[in-house]
Amino acid sequence: MSADALGGVPIVVDSSPGAAGARTRDPERKSRILLAASDLIGRKGFHAVSIAEIGNAAGITGSGVYRHFESKSAILVALFDQVIDDLIADEQRILDGDRDLPTALEELIAGQVEFVVGDRQLAQVYYNEINNLPDEDRRRLRRKQRLYLEEWVHLVNELREDLDDTEARVVVHAAIGAIQSPLFHNTGLADDRLRVLLTDSARDILDANRGGTSRD
């Protein structure tokens, strides 16, 4: 998963007649704020980082941050929406494509591995800081996360006839847990080697080749 374009079209701040040069909010500035927040929160933790620090790292004033986000929590929410939405978009692209089931599963594994290895800092911020969100936002993001996981479960159900729905869900959680395990310790491995090991581990857990085994 890559951190794709953030923000959107410029938002008019003051377009009333007579306004001297309507000001717009630069979407690239919003992207810089989110990237700066991800870096600072990843290194120092949510509570130790101020809006002023985030603004300074993004190359703007602290007050400038408030033109895009009403609070530090709102920045965190935007970061986490980015994480989940990127994962879901990648998943949907894979499932909507003309792929056989084993290939689709391989690509889901690859996307999750890339999220953990390629976007490690953002992934760590998500798992370390999600409990600092307002309750409503946390519940909403958890629902998105469950929807993402359910697509894995549906696919594994189709590939593993030996598993019922509950068992497939356990296997999926185990596989994704194995992929995400380096978020909680320093492996000391080069990224390319880590990608291989995490991919092989997830394959072994999901073991789609056993799909023809009958249930007891």
Domains of the chain: 11-212 (1.10.357.10)
- Report the half-sphere exposure of 178 (CA within 13 A, side-chain side): 19
Pairwise CA distance, residues 117 & 123, whole Å:
9
86 has pLDDT over 70: yes
Output the pLDDT for position 127. Answer: 87
From the centroid of its chain, how far is CA 145?
9
In tens, the pLDDT along 92-121 reads 999 998 889 999 999 999 999 999 999 888
Output the pLDDT for position 212. Answer: 52
Span 164-193, mean pLDDT? 95
At a CB cut-off of 8 Å and minimum separation 6, what does 132 contact?
Answer: 46, 47, 73, 76
Alpha helices in the chain (DSSP H): 27-44, 51-58, 62-65, 72-96, 101-118, 120-129, 135-159, 165-180, 191-206
Span 126-143, mean pLDDT? 91
Work out the number of other CB atoms within 10 angstroms of the CB of residue 124.
19
In tens, the pLDDT along 71-83 reads 999 999 999 998 8
14 has pLDDT over 90: no
When pLDDT is cut at 50, 70 and 90, the band that residue 52 belongs to is very high
pTM of the model: 0.78
Q: In the chain, pLDDT over 90 holds for what percent of residues?
A: 64
Output the pLDDT for position 83. Answer: 87
Tokens 């370390």 belong to: 128
Output the pLDDT for position 27. Answer: 66
In contact, 53 and 32? CB cutoff 8 Å: no
At residue 107's C-alpha, the angle toward residues 101 and 108, to 5°, is 90
At a CB cut-off of 8 Å and minimum separation 6, what does 182 contact?
Answer: 116, 117, 120, 194, 198
Write the burial class of residue 9 (CB in 10 Å: 0-12 exposed, 13-18 middle, 19+ buried). Answer: exposed
